[in-house]
Homo-oligomer: A and B are copies of this chain.
Amino acid sequence: MDRAALTQFLEDEFQQVAQMFAIDDVAPMTATIRLLNDERHLRPGGTVSGPAMFALADVSVYLAIMAMIGPKALSVTTNCAIDFMRKPASGVDLICETRLLKLGRVLAVGDCLIFAEGHDAAVARASLTYSIPPDG
């Protein structure tokens, strides 16, 4: 799926998610996904944006996988390790640069660096494993 198909898929399947995130770029084995600034502040805890960053990493790897294998909505996260390294600058979007390190028949592994837009130092790092359901 290209960027347009992926955006449509997100809107069809995950309406709430579609309002929070934007797909900046998608290419083979990589994706750049954006957490919109307006939505950051609607998260529990306000400035404590750990769960928002987790959600961003989670959806980013999911979309990178969907872009490669097509819409298998039942793929599920089995594991995530995330490091929160810096407090993100306020008032800007968060950008998640994602690459797939493995895309197997059963398991996929992706890793993410999350940046506050316009800042060089990553605010968080995450790696996730997804389980891909068998065909048919």
| Chain A residues close to B by CB (< 8 Å) | 14, 16-17, 20, 43-46, 48, 50-51, 54-55, 58-59, 76-87, 101-102, 106-107, 109, 111, 113, 121-122, 125, 127, 129, 131
Contacts and interface: CB of A to CB of B under 8 A. Distances in A.
Nearest to A107: B78
Contacts of A87: 76
Given A50-B58, A54-B54, 9 more contacts: A16-B44, A16-B45, A17-B45, A50-B54, A51-B54, A51-B58, A78-B84, A79-B82, A80-B81
Contacts of A48: 14, 76
A90 to B, nearest CB: 15
